[in-house]
Amino acid sequence: MKVEIKKISVSSLLFSVFPLAVFVVMLISAFLEVFSPDATVNLTYIMSLIMHAIQSTLLFWVSAIFFVLIYNVFTTIGIRGIHVFLEDK
């Protein structure tokens, strides 16, 4: 079955599990910096890692919303959307 994605709802992007999943990935990538050889682990360092994860999440989230809005504009003016081929097994 061939499906075309014509419009992505911004509210479904905002209120889905997507922001939480991005935050968890950014938090894991921030805590991997603890294993660097010159890291001195204290409370300030851990708080900076958490703030870095929050900042990265917000940056990724805003860019994803921007690209969804651009995609919706392109599909509105007539450019074809993304085609997905689905198979039933």
Query: Which string of DSSP letters, residue by residue, matches 46-88?
Result: HHHHHHHHHHHHHHHHHHHHHHHHHHHHHHHTT---EEEE---
**Residue 1 belongs to a domain:** no
**Residue 88 belongs to a domain:** no
Tally of domains in the chain: 1
**Residue 22 belongs to a domain:** yes
Residues 53, 28: Cα–Cα separation, whole Å: 8
**Residue 89 belongs to a domain:** no
3-class DSSP state for residue 20? helix
48-75: pLDDT as tens digits: 889 988 999 999 999 999 999 999 999 9
pLDDT score, position 1: 83
**Residue 24 belongs to a domain:** yes
- The boundaries of the domain holding residue 32 are 6-65
7-39: pLDDT as tens digits: 888 888 888 898 899 999 988 988 888 787 777
Q: Contact at 8 Å (CB) between 82 and 4?
A: yes
**Residue 73 belongs to a domain:** no
Q: What's the N-to-C CA distance of the chain in angstroms?
A: 12
**Residue 32 belongs to a domain:** yes
